[in-house]
Amino acid sequence: MPIAIDQVESPCYVLDEALLRQNLQLIRSVAESAGVEIIVAFKGFAMWSAFPVVREYVRGATASSPHEARLAFEEMKTLAHTYSPAYVEREFDEICQFSSHITFNSLAQFERFQPLVKKFEQQAGRHISFGLRINPEFAVVATDLYNPCAPGSRLGIAVDHLPKQLPEGIEGLHFHALCESNSFDLENALAEIERKFGHLLPQIQWFNMGGGHLMTRKGYDVAHLIRVLTAFREKWGLKIILEPGSAFAWDTGVLVSQVVDIVENQGIKTAILDVSFTAHMPDCLEMPYKPRIRGAHQEPVANLPTYRIGGNSCLSGDFIGDWSFGAPLKVGDTIVFEDMIHYTMVKTTTFNGVPHPSIAIWRDGQGLQVVRRFTYEDYRNRLS
Ligand SMILES: Cc1ncc(COP(=O)(O)O)c(C=O)c1O
């Protein structure tokens, strides 16, 4: 049963558990067929009330900060594969405590923190595996904000900054060069990596291919992905790890909102909602992209009521246009944004003090469970 929108309060993010399970099934079947490990990237999806479901299919998680690493331990019940562009000393103890793998963004960071990890290993009596992030300088992502291989990128070590022999203690390499990409982009990225970094691959045990593998998007060639991964794994004899975020939560739920007012200026009608693009759907402005609205025409249609949709913050640019609707909008109408689970909750703010949408899960046979409502205290406590 799809989400019964009329049972949902506004504003509210609603995860559809059945759709999440479909993605998880596909991800698990890729991992099993290709003989690789696929772990969830919290930067894209960290709605931990859904982790019990995620854990039925996938066990690992990747973290990019001490808080994400702790979330992996406490809510995913696993030690994290952790990578951060730059670790700081005061948080490093927590990073060690909650990580099984630590990947460094530079040789200087590796040299600086290696002794601290060794100390931790002795005290804790367990090994932490070190990796280095490489930058293959292979760009397929058009938007520079999301392109880890943009010229001059600070993310990962370029081949001309690496020695021919990896430093002692490095057991893995990590790259992240893709974003909402297909398996052919991955295949090309791997060919480039073999060309530039092939001499290093026999020196390691594991190879982390980062995120950006959008295997749950319609039309993704999953069979080709499995072939590419299997061939690479067999050729190099490595343990392969993938850490997508978007692919887990792709198209698994909605943001339900309401029309609060309709204003008109110079012939442009704007429906102002009880949600904000900048605070609650920031990728729409950052990527940028125009989200799908359920039941609306995605592009304006002549002679149909057409609106710009505006957010409830004071930011002038907190709007996107234009959609056409079958009938004129009025105050109180429900507006449902599709595919609003990944990179939303993890990036929201309380800018302007605008109320944060609630978070809910829709479960087949059980209906709606609101797992979190936000209050004035959530806003106040962030500020001092
Ligand atoms: C290092 C790293 N791993 C994994 C991911 C997840 O990528 P995606 O959500 O596009 O799959 C990202 C996203 O920025 C990343 O930077």
Q: What is the pLDDT of residues 198-236, one digit of tens each?
A: 999 999 999 999 999 999 999 999 999 999 999 999 999
What is the average per-residue pLDDT within 33-40?
98
Q: In this structure, are 195 and 328 located in the same domain?
A: no
Using the predicted structure, report yes or no on whether residue 188 has a pLDDT greater than 90: yes
Q: Tell me which of 58, 141, 176 to substitute to probe ligand 1's pocket, judged by most ligand atoms within 8 Å of the beta carbon.
A: 176
User: What pLDDT shows up at residue 247?
Assistant: 98
Q: Is residue 210 part of a domain?
A: yes
Q: In this structure, are 311 and 222 located in the same domain?
A: no
Q: In this structure, are 173 and 139 located in the same domain?
A: yes
Q: Is residue 27 part of a domain?
A: no
Other beta carbons less than 10 A from residue 267's beta carbon = 5
What is the average per-residue pLDDT within 317-338?
98
CA-closest residue to ligand 1 atom 7: 211
Q: Does the C-beta of 226 come closer than 6 Å to ligand 1? A: no
Q: Does the C-beta of 246 come closer than 6 Å to ligand 1? A: yes
Domain boundary among 249, 277, 294: 249
User: What pLDDT shows up at residue 322?
Assistant: 96
Question: Which carries the bigger pLDDT value, residue 144 or residue 104?
Answer: 104
Q: In this structure, are 96 and 229 located in the same domain?
A: yes
- Three-class SS of residue 334? strand
What is the average per-residue pLDDT within 10-35?
98
User: What pLDDT shows up at residue 356?
Assistant: 98
Whole-number Å distance between alpha carbons of 52 and 326: 40
Using the predicted structure, report yes or no on whether residue 340 has a pLDDT greater than 90: yes
Number of domains making up the chain: 2
Extract the tokens encoding 124: 């804790």
Phi, psi of 67 (to 5 degrees): -70, -40
Q: In this structure, are 216 and 308 located in the same domain?
A: no
Q: In this structure, are 132 and 215 located in the same domain?
A: yes
Q: Is residue 326 part of a domain?
A: yes
Q: In this structure, are 213 and 304 located in the same domain?
A: no
Q: Is residue 23 part of a domain?
A: no
CA-closest residue to ligand 1 atom 16: 176
User: What pLDDT shows up at residue 141?
Assistant: 84
Q: In this structure, are 257 and 329 located in the same domain?
A: yes
What is the CATH classification number for the domain harbouring 81? 3.20.20.10
What is the average per-residue pLDDT within 376-382?
97
Domain boundary among 249, 272, 290: 249
Q: Is residue 184 part of a domain?
A: yes
Q: Does the C-beta of 210 come closer than 6 Å to ligand 1? A: yes
User: What pLDDT shows up at residue 142?
Assistant: 83
Whole-number Å distance between alpha carbons of 259 and 44: 28
pLDDT digits (tens, 9 = 90+) for 62-78: 999 999 999 999 999 99
What is the average per-residue pLDDT within 156-178?
97
Q: What angle do CA 371, 373, 379 make, to 5 degrees?
A: 135
User: What pLDDT shows up at residue 244?
Assistant: 98
Q: Is residue 374 part of a domain?
A: yes
- Of the pLDDT bands very low, low, confident and very high (cuts 50, 70, 90), residue 294 is very high
Using the predicted structure, report yes or no on whether residue 297 has a pLDDT greater than 90: yes
Token pair 């950006």 in the structure block, residue: 212
DSSP 139-187: ---SSGGG-TTSTT-SSSB-GGGS-SSPPTTEEEEE----SSB-HHHHH
Domain boundary among 249, 269, 299: 249
Range of the domain at 359: 5-12+253-340+348-380
Q: In this structure, are 282 and 357 located in the same domain?
A: yes
Q: CB under 8 Å to 271, separation ≥6 — which residues?
A: 259, 261, 262, 307, 308, 309, 310, 329, 333, 335
Q: Is residue 24 part of a domain?
A: no
Q: In this structure, are 126 and 266 located in the same domain?
A: no
Q: What is the CA(148)–ligand 1 centre distance, in A? A: 10
Q: In this structure, are 272 and 213 located in the same domain?
A: no
Q: What is the CA radius of gyration of the chain?
A: 22
Q: In this structure, are 145 and 233 located in the same domain?
A: yes
Q: What is the CA(208)–ligand 1 centre distance, in A? A: 11
- Of the pLDDT bands very low, low, confident and very high (cuts 50, 70, 90), residue 41 is very high
Other beta carbons less than 10 A from residue 35's beta carbon = 13
Instruction: Please identify, by atom number, the ligand 1 atom nearest to the C-alpha of residue 148.
Output: 16
Using the predicted structure, report yes or no on whether residue 143 has a pLDDT greater than 90: no
What is the CATH classification number for the domain harbouring 310? 2.40.37.10
User: What pLDDT shows up at residue 360?
Assistant: 98
Q: Is residue 25 part of a domain?
A: no
